[in-house]
Amino acid sequence: MNWKELFPQFEPGLINAIEKEAVQRSFNAGDVIMRTGQYIKSTALVLEGRVKIYRENQEGGEFLMYYLGPGQACAVSMICALQSHTSEIMAVAEEDSEVLMIPVQLMDDMMNKYKTWYQFVIQTYRNRFDEILSVVDNIAFRNMDERLEFYLKRYVEKTGKKSIDISHQQIADDLNSSREVISRLLKKMEQRNLVKLHRNMIELVP
């Protein structure tokens, strides 16, 4: 798919500026796109695949913030880029991904010149903020079994897939739990006919 089809709202001048300055990059599943403490030299628009955005503590623990799919951008990287701050997040390709990297020096110019870019940035901030609020509410007000159910439904909603092909350990990392706890809760969900467990795959029951 031509990247312009993912962003039909972009005006011709903005498209020309991006085509002139941006660089398209490919990442394999598991590749780190952005590290904590790294200076942000560009912001990323996801063209294909899926990118996981999370916080990492000093002990290596992870806190999942949100996923990015085609046509989406990382609000945190935009903020850091515009303010010349270092990254406070990790961005990792969950699957093979294509990303359009827009240099930070171009972003200021685009914000001032192109209304459609300004609107896109504001909408990106709003969407990611709403997602983070949802995650915070989920952590603050739900038990682990409810958090797990919320996580699985959110995963399916964001990926468009009917099954979840990630390990119990990865789910545990995302929910800051242990593999044993997640496996036990998934087994209970299967007994309640909420999921079907297969080898290396979890299927949500409609």
Show the domains of the chain with their CATH numbers.
3-139 (2.60.120.10), 143-204 (1.10.10.10)
77 CB contacts (<8 Å, ≥6 apart)? 34, 40, 43, 44, 87, 89, 91
State the pLDDT at residue 143: 85
In angstroms, the CA 129 to CA 111 distance is 20
Predicted TM-score (pTM) of the model is: 0.71
Residue 40 half-sphere exposure toward CB, CA atoms < 13 A = 28
State the pLDDT at residue 60: 67
State the pLDDT at residue 140: 65
Give the chain's residues under pLDDT 70: 1, 60, 84, 138-141
In angstroms, the CA 76 to CA 95 distance is 21
In angstroms, the CA 130 to CA 132 distance is 5
State the pLDDT at residue 91: 93
